[in-house]
């Protein structure tokens, strides 16, 4: 990969990745690879998740009992773990989303306060 592409890659905070995974699973159960691709796809390729970091995140969510998994077969007939949201996870997603909106709003306010000149 060229350095230019690397610079565009935004480092995702740990908690944010968790949030994204939860959101992805809202659409239905998926296996690890599919989750990674979905995040890329839904963000118009802005968020390039280093696919490896998905797994610690998934395990964190499992430990917290926000997601669970089952064995299953993938599209091309391979064995894979399918992850799905638990009830707790679903509730957590709501809470976290609200927190994230608040945070994003606050940051945006600081960066671009209402009625300010500057580049726009």
Partner 1 sequence: MRRGKRMMEDLEQDIREHIEMETQDNIERGMSPVEARYAAVRKFGNVTRVKEETRAVWSFIWLEQLGQDIRYALRMLGKSPGFAAIAILTLALGVGANTSLFSVVNGVLLNPLPYPHSNQVVTAANWFPGYGEGSISYPDFLDWVRLNHTFSSLAAYRQNSFNLTGQGDAERVSAMEISASFFPLLGVNPIIGRDFSSAEDQLGGPPAVILSGGFWKTKFGSSEIIGKALSLDGTDYTVVGVIPEDFYFCCETIGFRLSDVYVPIGVSKDPWMRDRRITPGVRTVGRIKQGVTVAEAGADMDGVARNLAAAYPDIEKDLGIVVTPLKQVMVHDIRPFLLVLLAAVSFVLLIACVNVANLLLARSTGRGREFAIRAALGASQGRVVRQLLTESVLLAMAGGALGLLLASWGTRAALAALPSALPRANNVRLDPHVLLFTLIISLFAGILFGLAPAIRTSRPDLHETLKEGGRGGSGVRYRAQSIFVIVEMALAVVLLIGTGLTLRTLVSLWSVNPGFDSHNVLSFSVGFPPALASADANAIRATLRQFTDKIASVPGVSAVSVSNGAIPLNHESALVFWREGQAQPATEASMPFALWYRVGPDYLKVMKIRLLRGRFLTAQDDANAPGVCVIDEDFARKFFGNEDPIGRRLNFDLVYTQPLRIVGVVAHVKQYGLDETVHSPVQAQFYMPLLQLPDDQLKTLASSTTGFIIRTQGSPDAFAGAVRDALREFNSKAVLYAPEAMDHIISQSLAARRFAVILLAVFAALALVLAGIGIYGVISYIVGQRTHEIGIRMALGAQRSHVLKIVLGQGARLALLGVVIGLAAAAGLTRLMATILYGVSATDPLTFAAVAMVLTLIALAACYLPARRAVRIDRLVALRHE
**Residue 60 in contact with partner 1, rule: CB under 8 A:** yes
Q: At 53, phi and psi to the nearest 5? A: -70, -10
Q: Which is nearer to partner 1, 77 or 116 (CB)?
A: 77
Which window, 4-12, 21-29, 45-53, 102-110, contacts partner 1 (CB under 8 A)? 45-53
List the one residue out of 80, 93, 83 whose CA is nearest residue 20. Answer: 93
Contacts (CB under 8 A) with partner 1, residues 83-112? 88
The maximal CA–CA distance of the chain, rounded, in angstroms, is 57
Among 3, 76, 116, 120, binds partner 1 (CB under 8 A): 76
Sign of CA dihedral 61, 67, 71, 74: negative
Who's near 58: CB < 8 A, 6+ residues apart? 21, 32, 35, 67, 83
Whole-number minimum distance, CB 80 to partner 1, in Å?
5
Whole-number minimum distance, CB 102 to partner 1, in Å?
24
Where along the sequence are the contacts to partner 1 (CB under 8 A)? 1, 31-33, 36-37, 50-53, 55-56, 59-60, 63-65, 74, 76, 78-81, 88
């Amino acid at each position: 990969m060229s350095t230019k592409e690397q610079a565009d890659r935004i480092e995702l905070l740990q908690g944010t990745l968790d949030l994204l995974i939860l959101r992805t699973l809202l659409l239905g159960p998926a296996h690890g690879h599919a989750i990674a691709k979905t995040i890329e796809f839904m963000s118009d390729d802005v968020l390039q998740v280093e696919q490896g970091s998905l797994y610690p995140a998934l395990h964190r969510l499992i430990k917290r009992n926000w997601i669970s998994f089952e064995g299953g077969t993938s599209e091309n007939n391979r064995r894979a773990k399918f992850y799905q949201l638990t009830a707790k996870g679903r509730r957590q997603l709501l809470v976290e989303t609200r927190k994230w909106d608040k945070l994003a709003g606050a940051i945006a306010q600081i960066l671009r306060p209402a009625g300010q000149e500057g580049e726009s």
